[in-house]
Structure 1
Amino acid sequence: MPQQDLPGAPEPADIDFTRRRLMLGAGSAIALGSTLGLAACGGGGDAEKEPFGFGVASGDPLADRVIIWTRANRLSESVTLQWEMALDTSFTNIVKSGTALAELAHDSTVKVDVTGLQPATTYFYRFKNGSVISETGRTRTLPVGGVQQVKLGVFSCAAYSIGQFHVYNHAAARGDLDAALMLGDYIYETGLTDTEQLAARVIGREADPKGELHTLNEYRLRYQRYHSDADLRGIRRNMPLIGVWDDHEIVNDLWRDGAGGHDPATEGSFAARRAAAVQAYHEWMPTRTGTDPLRIYRSFDFGNLVSLHMLDTRLIGRDAPIGRDAYLAGAADAPGRQMLGPEQEAWLAAGLQASSATWQVLGQQVVFGGMRIPLSVYDNFSEDAINAFLAALDTPEASRSDAQRALLAQPRIGYELTNWDSFPAARERVMAMARAGDRNLVVLSGDSHNAWAHDLRDAAGRRIGVEFATPSVTSTGLEIAHPKVARGFLADSFLRMVPDLKYADTARRGYVAVNFTPTSVTGEFVFVTSVLENNYSAAVGPALQAQAGPAGRELRRV
């Protein structure tokens, strides 16, 4: 949709193309066909030294309200700020204004829930501390009634110290996204080794703190370091955010009562660490918080076109993880095994039943569609193992050897056991909710660091919906996990091994822009050539589309 120019918005023409920084030991970027040359602003700088150096943000938009955010730096005591919201960038038509307290107890961050707004309206906002004025942010309220188009950007997995946030730079500059969905791993709590910190220093992206996060102050410092990045500040300034956490905002491999990345014997109370991480998340993200800070699942209605249900598949309800042997023994198939938890499941069922929107959209963390691969490949992820299985698949039944028949008869296992494949009963319950109301289901996912698109079928083979899983902003994918497997071969192999997988890219960083209309949903994958250099190019990958209605729930390239 058309938008007014916003002061400070990233424009390719304003960028210095002479800067170039490489990760220690990394090669140069790869050109991607016909591309748009861009350069990003990058991280570092002195954001913490400027009064409003960490920028402004907006989030959780509704038809009549939106959250606006900032942080007042260098405070020795709590300070009252002024805020203004206008219909123009010069603030000659101010429609709302007020004051808000920047409290040291909340890391000097401020969130205002601005109410009484008009639907489907672009607003501009800013904060003041006396004569000091923040930069201007742009936001937009949600539409009501008949809506012809909604376009959402989907992002996940942004590790600050291993690459530039070019993905955010590109998305902020395009100007046609109604909101940015942050599906988790917005920050990483992990620490760096001395060698990793040295590599991060080469590209100006050292971790702070260097070690793993445990305390409230440490989590706050990590958010400060992330928001020293101008490209992250740019996307926050230019569109409303709708976010949920994954595991790394808190601790790796998170579940309801613990985490694989937390050892109480050496790291203390899990509950205390979780509380610190959740507090810092809400302080730095433009979320609308309720009485329970652990409850982050909520819904957003874009008129009669899209109902977006943001889920928590990590903290609130997930059962303990299982390993390879337990999976093969059938532990994943326990009918009571929980991914969302009973309360969140009941909330989702009620929301799907009550909504009359054309598209029912789940914004959530981990890959939803089935990604089960042959056990021989899982145990020995190599080209030889993959080729042996594919050769057996391609051999006519009458000509197959006993060894080939054994390969095809072997068990399958989810390639990533933290995904929905380890919670099949919970997945069936979600699909049954959509089927009960004949809903057009679209699942948006993150976490895997790679790009995937699925047709979604239930256990009976009925088409239920489609899934678009976004690649990561910077985090490395299967190309690093399996470096001896050729990249193109790796992606093609997944497409052959996994039924209903319609697209795979296992090597590039990027995001997915999802466009909804009354008749179709289209996912357009966008990739950047490198996150190791300041200069980058962006290229649009394939677009996959499904039609509304029972006969159209199948992805096709367009």
Structure 2
Amino acid sequence: MDGKALFPPAATGRRNFMRQACSTALLGAGGLALASCGSTGGGPAAHVAASFGHGVASGDPLTDRVILWTRVTPRPAPQGQAADVAVRWYVATDPAMQSLVAAGTAITSAAIDFTVKVDATGLLPGRVYYYQFAADTVKSPVGRTRTLPRADARQVRLAVFSCANYPAGYFNVYADAAQRDDIDVALHIGDYIYEYESDGYACDRAEELGRVSEPRALLLHLDDYRRRYAQYRTDPDLQALHASVPFITVWDDHEFADDAWRDGSADHVSSRQGPFSLRKAAAMTAYHEWLPIRAPDPSTPEKIYRSFDFGSVLSLHMLDTRLIGRDQQLVLASYYDEQHRFDAEKYHRDLRSPHRTMMGSEQMAWLESQVAASRARWQMLGQQVLMARMEYPTAVAMGECNCTDFAALKRRAACDPASVGERERRWLAAPTLPCYLDSWDGYQNDRELVFAMMQRHRKNMVVLAGDSHNAWASDLHDAQGRQVGVEFATASVSSPGMEGAYPDRDPDDVAAMMVDLIAPLYYAQTSKRGYMVVTATHEQVRCDWRFVDTVFDRRYTAATERSLRTLAGPGNRKLEECTG
């Protein structure tokens, strides 16, 4: 967007109009500080010249409002003066910012990392708006946003992203999406940042690409997380996408720590790094500061599950399957005894235990109330991890046979049954085994509760997932084998996928092998970076998987590789090929 758009003169008649038209909440970190439109939020702010080097963003649109975000980088104030910065904001119906419909002033300071969040209200449904910030004589770029539609909406189009690792490559995926003009909302379903140290995960080419993580150490404290967000938000492609479309986000583990759960994570060592509760609180504070999210309950910043209604087409329920209710993950290796015998009975009993939760009872009850009240054709769950059953053959899970050899065995058994030995027949006859225990496979009772909920209320369900760095599409079946919906899972923005595990194999063969090994899996793409474009109408939900050919060069090409859909109604709710 053009950052040189001019503001209109402050006419006396227009001031009165704005006071009446704009009822605004100015949000501090986590949405804790509230003020009405035009309020200074306290004492006078220092007039400190600032810049807007982290761009602008909008998010959490409703039919009459949207969150507007920016961050100012102030010049150092003279010693003894107040550190507060007054930031003016404007909303208009045109990109030249001439036809204003709302305006106000927000106060920011070092206490909230000089971020600004405004809940701009009094807007009209289904409209495109433009917004801009100013501090002193410095103006921000102009951003573009959109409110949610009225009940008579006919189509909704979402772009879905996950797993953006700054040192792993350029954000060409964001760049491609930013060039589109047909996206209503961008969904980011987790791993917006990564918390690793600069010589940690997927950083082999970071120096070459000029993308070494800052700060260099593992993120532990509030300033660490703030600095990492600040680095990400200097990326021009991420800035361009934020400026072009409103975001709806939820966190996953890497906004906190690897494989995080309610009270810890797989790599957090309290004896060296301090209590996990302090690290979680620091990460949560930075998330609310840097993302254009509206906290449903400002007094409870860990509560971010919330719903968005796109008219009669779609109800989008954004879930937190990562922190607020998740019990610690099970570990497959712990089910071996001293004689290396695997206790399959106890393993399955623990996986299905009603005492293990991923969402927590409060969030589950909230989801049921939202689903029951929704009159939309589609119930869509925007959440972090794979809900589909991703179970491997027992022989593969136990390390007796690798994926490649087992897939070859299945083909040989189909063509030449006489060639299969007794041990191989046992492998083929054995049940499959859940192994990806950070996903819904590790919390099977909660999964069944969601499935039963959708069946009880006779809803059409589509699940969106990320986290795995690979693209997947699966049919969703309950424990009795009944079809209950579908899942579309996006590839990563830049984090590497399964290609590293099979460096000498054709990636298409690897993806085909996964589809062959995992029964509910319909489609896989395990080697490319990309995103999903999900289009919902009253008749269908279509998913187009779009991929870039590289994240190691600013020059790239992008293409839609696969398109699948699901139709509404109890006889449908399953994956099928698109017909046009």
Normalising by the residue count of structure 1, what TM-score does the alignment of the two structures yield? 0.89
- 1:510 maps to 2:505: no
Please state whether the residue corresponding to 1:552 is helix, strand or coil. coil
Amino acid paired to 1:229:
D
**1:514-557 deviation per Cα after TM superposition (whole angstroms, max 9, x unaligned):** 00001001000000000011110001111001111111211112
Please state whether the residue corresponding to 2:458 is helix, strand or coil. coil
Query: In the alignment, what sits opposite 2:508?
Result: 488
Aligned equivalents of 1:59, 1:73: Cα separation in 2 = 21
Please state whether the residue corresponding to 2:205 is helix, strand or coil. helix
CA shift for structure 1 position 325: 3.7
Amino acid paired to 1:87:
T
Query: In the alignment, what sits opposite 2:141?
Result: 135
Q: Conserved in 1, the CA contact under 8 Å of 2:407 and 2:517?
A: no
Aligned equivalents of 1:118, 1:307: Cα separation in 2 = 19
CA shift for structure 1 position 484: 4.7
Query: In the alignment, what sits opposite 1:245?
Result: 251
Compared with structure 1, are the counterparts of its residues 236 and 254 closer, same or farther at alpha carbon in structure 2 (3 Å cutoff)? same
Query: In the alignment, what sits opposite 1:352?
Result: 371
Aligned equivalents of 1:107, 1:126: Cα separation in 2 = 19
Please state whether the residue corresponding to 2:475 is helix, strand or coil. strand
Q: Conserved in 2, the CA contact under 8 Å of 1:57 and 1:236?
A: yes
Query: In the alignment, what sits opposite 2:393?
Result: 374
Aligned equivalents of 2:254, 2:538: Cα separation in 1 = 36
Aligned equivalents of 1:317, 1:384: Cα separation in 2 = 37
CA shift for structure 1 position 387: 3.3
Q: Conserved in 2, the CA contact under 8 Å of 1:149 and 1:516?
A: yes
**1:263-298 deviation per Cα after TM superposition (whole angstroms, max 9, x unaligned):** 001111100000000000110000112221100100
**1:203-249 deviation per Cα after TM superposition (whole angstroms, max 9, x unaligned):** 11111011110010011010111111000011111000000000000
- 1:231 maps to 2:250: no
Aligned equivalents of 1:281, 1:144: Cα separation in 2 = 30
Query: In the alignment, what sits opposite 2:86?
Result: 80
- Aligned sequence identity (%): 45
**1:334-381 deviation per Cα after TM superposition (whole angstroms, max 9, x unaligned):** 122101011100000111111010000000000111110113223447
Aligned equivalents of 1:356, 1:432: Cα separation in 2 = 18
Q: 2:152 aligns with which of 146, 151, 154?
A: 146
Q: Conserved in 1, the CA contact under 8 Å of 2:259 and 2:265?
A: yes
Q: 1:320 aligns with which of 297, 321, 328?
A: 328
- 1:70 maps to 2:70: yes
Please state whether the residue corresponding to 2:74 is helix, strand or coil. coil
- 1:305 maps to 2:324: no
Amino acid paired to 1:249:
E
Amino acid paired to 1:92:
Q
Please state whether the residue corresponding to 2:51 is helix, strand or coil. coil
Aligned equivalents of 2:559, 2:212: Cα separation in 1 = 28
Aligned equivalents of 2:431, 2:216: Cα separation in 1 = 42
Aligned equivalents of 2:306, 2:407: Cα separation in 1 = 44
Please state whether the residue corresponding to 2:571 is helix, strand or coil. helix
Q: Conserved in 1, the CA contact under 8 Å of 2:313 and 2:378?
A: yes
Amino acid paired to 1:491:
A
Amino acid paired to 2:221:
T
Query: In the alignment, what sits opposite 1:93?
Result: 99
Please state whether the residue corresponding to 1:274 is helix, strand or coil. helix
- 1:126 maps to 2:121: no
Aligned equivalents of 2:259, 2:309: Cα separation in 1 = 31
Amino acid paired to 1:360:
Q
Q: 2:196 aligns with which of 190, 196, 204?
A: 190
Tell me which moved more, 397-406 or 263-272. 397-406
Amino acid paired to 2:111:
A
Amino acid paired to 2:471:
A
Compared with structure 1, are the counterparts of its residues 8 and 458 closer, same or farther at alpha carbon in structure 2 (3 Å cutoff)? farther
Q: Conserved in 2, the CA contact under 8 Å of 1:365 and 1:446?
A: yes
Q: Conserved in 2, the CA contact under 8 Å of 1:376 and 1:385?
A: no
Aligned equivalents of 1:360, 1:398: Cα separation in 2 = 48
Aligned equivalents of 1:195, 1:323: Cα separation in 2 = 22
Aligned equivalents of 1:147, 1:407: Cα separation in 2 = 52
Please state whether the residue corresponding to 1:535 is helix, strand or coil. coil
Query: In the alignment, what sits opposite 2:2?
Result: 7
Equivalent residues in 2 for 1:393-412, closer than 5 Å? 394=414, 400-412=420-432
Query: In the alignment, what sits opposite 2:434?
Result: 414
Query: In the alignment, what sits opposite 2:278?
Result: 272
Q: Conserved in 1, the CA contact under 8 Å of 2:168 and 2:203?
A: no
Please state whether the residue corresponding to 1:296 is helix, strand or coil. coil
Aligned equivalents of 1:324, 1:393: Cα separation in 2 = 29
- 1:214 maps to 2:220: yes
Query: In the alignment, what sits opposite 2:209?
Result: 203
Which of 1 and 2 has higher RCO (CA within 8 Å, sep 6+)? 1
Tell me which moved more, 419-428 or 383-392. 383-392
Q: 2:543 aligns with which of 501, 520, 523?
A: 523
Q: Conserved in 2, the CA contact under 8 Å of 1:308 and 1:362?
A: yes
Q: 1:105 aligns with which of 90, 100, 111?
A: 111
Amino acid paired to 1:163:
G
Aligned equivalents of 1:415, 1:530: Cα separation in 2 = 30
CA shift for structure 1 position 169: 0.4
Q: 2:354 aligns with which of 318, 335, 340?
A: 335
Please state whether the residue corresponding to 1:174 is helix, strand or coil. coil
Aligned equivalents of 2:317, 2:100: Cα separation in 1 = 32
Normalising by the residue count of structure 2, what TM-score does the alignment of the two structures yield? 0.85
Q: 1:441 aligns with which of 461, 476, 485?
A: 461
Query: In the alignment, what sits opposite 1:363?
Result: 382
Q: Conserved in 2, the CA contact under 8 Å of 1:156 and 1:447?
A: yes
CA shift for structure 1 position 128: 0.6
Amino acid paired to 1:312:
D
Compared with structure 1, are the counterparts of its residues 145 and 58 closer, same or farther at alpha carbon in structure 2 (3 Å cutoff)? same
CA RMSD of aligned residues (A): 2.0
Aligned equivalents of 2:458, 2:202: Cα separation in 1 = 50
Please state whether the residue corresponding to 2:560 is helix, strand or coil. strand
Query: In the alignment, what sits opposite 1:37?
Result: none
CA shift for structure 1 position 411: 4.0
Q: Conserved in 2, the CA contact under 8 Å of 1:154 and 1:513?
A: yes
CA shift for structure 1 position 459: 1.2
Compared with structure 1, are the counterparts of its residues 195 and 136 closer, same or farther at alpha carbon in structure 2 (3 Å cutoff)? closer
Please state whether the residue corresponding to 1:350 is helix, strand or coil. helix
- 1:262 maps to 2:268: yes
Aligned equivalents of 1:480, 1:170: Cα separation in 2 = 24
Aligned equivalents of 1:476, 1:199: Cα separation in 2 = 12
Aligned equivalents of 1:286, 1:171: Cα separation in 2 = 18
Which ranges in structure 2 are unaligned for 5 or more consecutive residues? 5-48, 77-82, 336-343
Aligned equivalents of 1:112, 1:307: Cα separation in 2 = 24
Please state whether the residue corresponding to 1:255 is helix, strand or coil. coil
Please state whether the residue corresponding to 1:522 is helix, strand or coil. strand
Q: Conserved in 1, the CA contact under 8 Å of 2:161 and 2:466?
A: yes
Q: Conserved in 1, the CA contact under 8 Å of 2:565 and 2:577?
A: yes
Tell me which moved more, 332-341 or 90-99. 332-341
Q: 1:281 aligns with which of 287, 304, 314?
A: 287
Query: In the alignment, what sits opposite 2:556?
Result: 536
Amino acid paired to 1:513:
V
Please state whether the residue corresponding to 2:557 is helix, strand or coil. strand
Amino acid paired to 2:159:
G
- 1:171 maps to 2:182: no
CA shift for structure 1 position 415: 4.2
Please state whether the residue corresponding to 1:258 is helix, strand or coil. coil
Aligned equivalents of 1:189, 1:95: Cα separation in 2 = 40
